Amino acid sequence: MTAPKAKTHPAANRAWRRRRMKLFQSILRPPDKLTVTECAERYRQLSREASAEPGRFRCGRTPYLREIMDAFCDPAVEVVVWMKPAQVGGTTALENVALYFIVHDPMSMLLMQPSIEMAMAWAEDRLETMIRDTPRLGKVVAPSRSRDAGSRKLKKRYAGGVITITGANSPRSLRSRSVPIVLMDERDAYPFSAGKEGDPGKLAWKRAQTFPYRKRGDISTPLIKGASPTEAEYEKSDQRRYHVPCPHCEHPQVLRWEQLHWEKIPVAEATEADRARPGMIEHNGKLHLTETAAYTCEECGVAIDEHEKPGMLAAGAWVARHPNRAIRGYHLNALYSPFDGARWAKLLEEWLNAQGDPSLLQVFYNTVLAQTWEERGDRLDATTLAMRRELYAAEVPAGVGVLTAAVDVQDDRLELLVVGWGRGEEAWIVAHHKIWGDPQGDSVWKRLDILRKKLWRHESGAMLRIQAMCVDTGAHTDRCYDWIKPRQGQGVWGVKGDRNRGKALLIKPGKAKRRGIRLLIVGTHTAKTKLFGRLRLEPERDKDKRILPGKPGYIHIPLAQDDGAGDDFLMQFENEKLVTRKVSGQLVRQYIQTGPNEAIDLMVYNTAALHTLGDAVRGHLGQWVDRVNADGKGRAVKTIIDRAVAIRDAVDDAAARFAERLARDAEASEEVTDGADAASDPELEAGDDEKGADDTPPDPAPAPALTPRRPRKKKRRRGGGGWISGL
Ligand SMILES: [Zn+2]
């Protein structure tokens, strides 16, 4: 029996003792308290597919990130706001913060993306690859298996917490349990309200209010001036900017776009050699040589070459404008970027190519300068809409052939908008009702039913009913379903908006999973583009400035009536802005809500309601207008004949009775009897029956008629004297 040679070997013994010492040390010694940057530099491995520079994370090239990331572990800081451009490492910084709160200082987190789809993309493309490539993280969090349900990918547990990734458009996910750390990515692209529950950013931050130690990160590319929560927060912050020293005079300064200079050659003087130079862009009569881009020091005026940038960045520092404010705010533009994709020449190229194209300019302002974009020119203006209000000749003007309605469910009311459609989808807003009350109760829904069955008086004299109605099921969904289900065969539809671009205006899926409701999915992007185009149409006017009918697509707005197309209602049309965003490198045009927008939704869902009637109606609206008018006119003529006949009969009767009375009076005067039949005068009773017969009573049958109702055959009473009240 001999002991294993290795164990007795002195070198092996020493090695074993060293290992044992290390083990004891690691157990006994408290863990190093790392900053977010140190934690990232120790553990983080950048993924091949997600990073231009894969491998170990180093903060050296992007030294400006250090302070921003470390603000998240600074006990004195609660809120960190960063107005960021693209291509400066912002995404990586956010991931590093998440990494820190998973592996180093474990706490629960809510990571919010603009939508559930983007949350899913972040979970799959960012978090999963980070877990795969960062061994320390892989030990703590299990990667998802490909067959895992989406909900499992959006929630990851680790010792000490759980990270929940959520979409700002999903109010339900915002009601999840409380978390101390709330990270908001691309907050400016969040919907104005999560469902009907208000600002998703504020809702999320409320989740953290019970924790004495809490953090909020608000990291976003700014979008629209006046509608940018990130800019608003930055304005309230200490407003830090990264100051870098000039390599020539050492004057510290913030890099500004105006200080970038490059060679320009007038086209007339350009040689062939000039034209062949790399990065040449012809614009506005000049050749712009983008490769000559250099930065001019604001102090000494010397041109700074781009290769001097790394040195400047390394020597830079964040300087606060309002050092005493509690919110920590950072602003950085892409001129600082050390990455090849954001070289000054490339940015300049982007700038020149965007000239004359507002949507590209907007992208440049947002993603390069990290500034909000102020819309000019094609803004939809509520005042212009208000100037177009007109007085209709009847409840429903003559140009209308079909009526539709849309219902929006709020916490304290239902809103109903009735729209009339004519030739070429010319539209008339007919009525707007706010039905106040709790949508969980019955009362509002009963009142809605009354309005749904109401008959609307057409200018021709015909009576119209609402042929199709769409109810937005986005809020109080179960209650909506309860009401819609028994009315599905009567032209009532439950609808849901889908804001993804490229969706057709109306999609009919099969049965929804719940309650057998045939839910319609409305492509709201398409519908809104159509709506805003139509709202911008200028009306035709006659010589007295009155608006004329007959312009396809034009939307007529009535002078305020009932709850009306009042100022508040018209103002809502301003509350959606079309912005261009870069999503995974692609330019995406998207509507961003900037205030209450029920008016827009109601118009969109009315358009959807028109589509539910199919081509037989929508493709032949002109014929429907003609039919309604013919029907109404026929009805009007018939009424006149009826009345004429009634008058003639009544006159005849009266004459006959008068003759009778004269005869009786003559007899009576002979027999000296007086006033015998005055009490039972038939004229008085007949009058009540005939009165109001001209008003067709509402049809109690619940089904909306597919054809405009023909007037009911009127019972004519002969012999009554009530024709006077009947006129
Ligand atoms: Zn200088």
pLDDT for 688? 38
Residue range 382-628, CATH number: 3.30.420
Phi first, then psi, for residue 270 (nearest 5°) are: -75, 140
pLDDT for 362? 87
From the CA of 534, how far away is ligand 1's center (Å)?
54
Question: Is 672 exposed, middle or buried, given 0-12, 13-18 or 19+ CB atoms closer than 10 A?
Answer: exposed
| Partners of 242 in the β-ladder | 318
Mean pLDDT of the chain: 83
pLDDT for 30? 54
Token pair 């049958």: residue: 701
From the CA of 259, how far away is ligand 1's center (Å)?
12
From the CA of 308, how far away is ligand 1's center (Å)?
12
Three-class secondary structure of residue 241 per DSSP = strand
Q: Are 165 and 127 spatial neighbours (Cβ–Cβ below 8 Å)?
A: yes
pLDDT for 53? 78
Share of the chain above pLDDT 90, in %: 45
pLDDT at 542 over 80: yes
From the CA of 309, how far away is ligand 1's center (Å)?
13
From the CA of 248, how far away is ligand 1's center (Å)?
5
Could you tell me the sign of the dihedral formed by the alpha carbons of 368, 369, 372, 376, in that order? negative
Please tell me the distance from the alpha carbon of residue 621 to that of residue 614, in angstroms, as a whole number.
Answer: 11
Q: How confident is the model at residue 696 (pLDDT cuts 50, 70, 90)?
A: very low
Please tell me the distance from the alpha carbon of residue 559 to that of residue 598, in angstroms, as a whole number.
Answer: 19
Q: Which segments within 647-688 are labelled E, that is strand?
A: none
From the CA of 315, how far away is ligand 1's center (Å)?
14
From the CA of 113, how far away is ligand 1's center (Å)?
41
Q: How far is CA 22 from CA 15, 17, 103, 260, 357, in A?
A: 11, 9, 21, 55, 64
From the CA of 252, how far away is ligand 1's center (Å)?
8
pLDDT for 318? 98
Q: How confident is the model at residue 638 (pLDDT cuts 50, 70, 90)?
A: low
Q: How far is CA 619 from CA 15, 136, 423, 607, 611, in A?
A: 87, 63, 9, 13, 10
CATH class of 36-239: alpha beta
From the CA of 36, how far away is ligand 1's center (Å)?
33
CB atoms within 10 A of CB 312: 20
From the CA of 61, how far away is ligand 1's center (Å)?
22
From the CA of 88, how far away is ligand 1's center (Å)?
24
From the CA of 254, how far away is ligand 1's center (Å)?
12
From the CA of 297, how far away is ligand 1's center (Å)?
5
From the CA of 251, how far away is ligand 1's center (Å)?
6
pLDDT for 12? 76
pLDDT for 304? 96
From the CA of 300, how far away is ligand 1's center (Å)?
4
From 296-300, 398-402, 581-585, the region with the lowest mean pLDDT? 581-585
pLDDT at 726 over 50: no
Q: How confident is the model at residue 679 (pLDDT cuts 50, 70, 90)?
A: very low
From the CA of 304, how far away is ligand 1's center (Å)?
8
* pLDDT, tens digit (0-9, with 9 covering 90-100), for 363-393: 999 999 999 988 665 567 888 888 888 888 8
pLDDT for 689? 38
pLDDT for 296? 96
Q: How confident is the model at residue 662 (pLDDT cuts 50, 70, 90)?
A: confident
From the CA of 298, how far away is ligand 1's center (Å)?
7
- Of residues 176 and 497, more confidence is placed in 497
pLDDT for 193? 79
Please tell me the distance from the alpha carbon of residue 266 to that of residue 280, in angstroms, as a whole number.
Answer: 12
> Residue range 681-696: average pLDDT?
38
From the CA of 225, how far away is ligand 1's center (Å)?
33
Could you tell me the sign of the dihedral formed by the alpha carbons of 255, 232, 189, 536, in that order? negative
- Of residues 672 and 553, more confidence is placed in 553
* pLDDT, tens digit (0-9, with 9 covering 90-100), for 113-144: 998 889 999 998 899 989 989 999 888 887 77
From the CA of 337, how far away is ligand 1's center (Å)?
20
* pLDDT, tens digit (0-9, with 9 covering 90-100), for 5-32: 445 677 778 877 877 777 666 565 556 7
From the CA of 244, how far away is ligand 1's center (Å)?
11
From the CA of 242, how far away is ligand 1's center (Å)?
16
Domain boundaries, the chain: 36-239, 245-312+343-367, 382-628
From the CA of 253, how far away is ligand 1's center (Å)?
9
From the CA of 299, how far away is ligand 1's center (Å)?
5
- Of residues 446 and 671, more confidence is placed in 446
From the CA of 247, how far away is ligand 1's center (Å)?
7
Choose from 194-203, 310-319, 470-479 the range with maximum mean pLDDT: 310-319
Q: Are 430 and 419 spatial neighbours (Cβ–Cβ below 8 Å)?
A: yes
pLDDT at 328 over 70: yes
From the CA of 245, how far away is ligand 1's center (Å)?
8
pLDDT for 720? 37
Q: Are 622 and 702 spatial neighbours (Cβ–Cβ below 8 Å)?
A: no
Please tell me the distance from the alpha carbon of residue 297 to that of residue 247, in angstroms, as a whole number.
Answer: 9
pLDDT for 41? 95
* pLDDT, tens digit (0-9, with 9 covering 90-100), for 472-514: 998 888 899 999 989 988 999 999 887 766 667 776 665 555 6
Q: How confident is the model at residue 684 (pLDDT cuts 50, 70, 90)?
A: very low
pLDDT for 144? 73
From the CA of 222, how far away is ligand 1's center (Å)?
30
From the CA of 440, how far away is ligand 1's center (Å)?
68
Please tell me the distance from the alpha carbon of residue 55 to that of residue 134, in angstroms, as a whole number.
Answer: 10
From the CA of 296, how far away is ligand 1's center (Å)?
8
pLDDT for 632? 82
pLDDT at 182 over 50: yes
From the CA of 322, how far away is ligand 1's center (Å)?
25
Q: How far is CA 430 from CA 126, 329, 465, 565, 702, in A?
A: 50, 49, 12, 9, 21
From 67-71, 613-617, 673-677, the region with the lowest mean pLDDT? 673-677
From the CA of 295, how far away is ligand 1's center (Å)?
10
> Residue range 46-71: average pLDDT?
89
> Residue range 163-191: average pLDDT?
87
From 274-283, 439-448, 455-464, 515-524, the region with the lowest mean pLDDT? 515-524
HEC profile of 352-385: HHHCCCHHHHHHHHHHCCCCCECCCCCCCCHHHH
pLDDT at 92 over 70: yes
Q: Which residues surround ligand 1, an ion (CB under 5 A)?
A: 246, 248-249, 251, 297, 299-300
Three-class secondary structure of residue 508 per DSSP = coil
Please tell me the distance from the alpha carbon of residue 570 to that of residue 516, in angstroms, as a whole number.
Answer: 36
CB atoms within 10 A of CB 419: 26
- The DSSP annotation for 465-504 comes to -EEEEEEE-SSSHHHHHHHHGGGGGGTEEEEEEE--TT--
